């Protein structure tokens, strides 16, 4: 079974059905990191010790990469700045807590433009991440490590943050699904801010369905974030049964059609 080609939901199903184990999946991606990351430089920290998770949990222990801007209790979190090397947060970011409850395994912290200030992945104080499709090209930023890690098959999914394109741009440059939810849907508590009134935690995945799956786990009201939305979080499951897009309206902002934008 080639784990690197499977979606997040397919990996979870493989574990729950007994076709593979949590540890086998984790070790596969650990091997991918050891093989590919010396060239791609996507990871700042790698967790080599796997801890068994509840197999009945939604995520069933599947490994996910974490942009190095989300606080994880006791795990070095630097925002790719030398100023924070050695800093280990005393608590988890809210979205990390929710992912832990859902049974995820954090496999490592991913490189980024320092304090999320950049759009190329070249502004990290720690390392320069490469685009896995062409290592002479940039992966985009600021969530450079997250996009490169998912696109190269080092992780099936990764967390990112988006203020002015820091998920959407690298996802586009690396050819994967980048999802920036509506501001306030995902709590910012425990996320090192680039611009607090704009920052939005989101995800990088191989499929749109995986993005929706993680969104339902991560999103929701948080008393620790005064801007979080207190609205139900649920995606209509019938959307995955659609055979076409009849009746669906897609809005394209008029600002996309300006001088200087390639047709």
Any idea which residues carry the catalytic annotation? 67, 142, 166
CA 191 to chain centre: 13
Nearest to 170 by CA among 217, 216, 235, 124: 124
Q: Which residues contact 50 (CB under 8 A, 6 or more apart)?
A: 22, 23, 26, 27, 30, 105
Total Cβ atoms within 10 A of residue 246: 6
Q: What is the layout of strands, in order, in the sheet containing 105-110?
A: 43-46, 105-110, 63-67, 157-162, 200-205, 177-179
The answer to whether 105 touches 54, Cβ cutoff 8 Å, is: no
Q: Which residues contact 35 (CB under 8 A, 6 or more apart)?
A: none
| Phi, psi (deg, nearest 5) at residue 163 | -110, -50
């Amino acid at each position: 079974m080639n784990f690197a080609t499977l979606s997040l939901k397919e990996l979870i199903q493989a574990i729950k059905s007994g076709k593979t184990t949590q540890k086998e999946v984790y070790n596969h991606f650990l091997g991918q990191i050891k093989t590919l990351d010396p060239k791609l430089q996507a990871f700042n920290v790698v967790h080599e010790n796997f801890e068994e998770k509840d197999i009945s949990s939604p995520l069933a222990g599947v490994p996910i990469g974490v942009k190095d801007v989300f606080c994880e209790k006791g795990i070095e979190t630097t925002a790719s700045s030398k100023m924070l090397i050695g800093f280990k947060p005393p608590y988890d970011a809210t979205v990390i807590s929710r992912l832990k409850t859902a049974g995820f395994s954090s496999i490592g912290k991913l490189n980024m433009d320092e304090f999320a200030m950049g759009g190329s992945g070249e502004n990290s104080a720690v390392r320069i991440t490469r685009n896995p499709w062409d290592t002479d090209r940039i992966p985009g930023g600021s969530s450079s490590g997250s996009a490169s890690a998912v696109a190269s098959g080092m992780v099936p999914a990764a967390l990112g943050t988006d203020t002015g394109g820091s998920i959407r741009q690298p996802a586009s440059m690396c050819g994967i699904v980048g999802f920036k939810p509506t501001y306030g849907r995902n709590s910012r508590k425990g996320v090192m801010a680039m611009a607090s009134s704009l920052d939005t935690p989101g995800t990088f995945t191989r499929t749109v369905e995986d993005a929706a799956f993680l969104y339902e786990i991560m999103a929701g009201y948080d008393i620790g974030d005064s801007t979080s939305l207190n609205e139900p979080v649920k995606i209509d499951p019938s959307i995955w049964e659609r055979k076409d897009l009849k009746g669906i309206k897609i809005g394209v902002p008029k600002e996309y059609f300006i001088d200087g934008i390639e047709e």
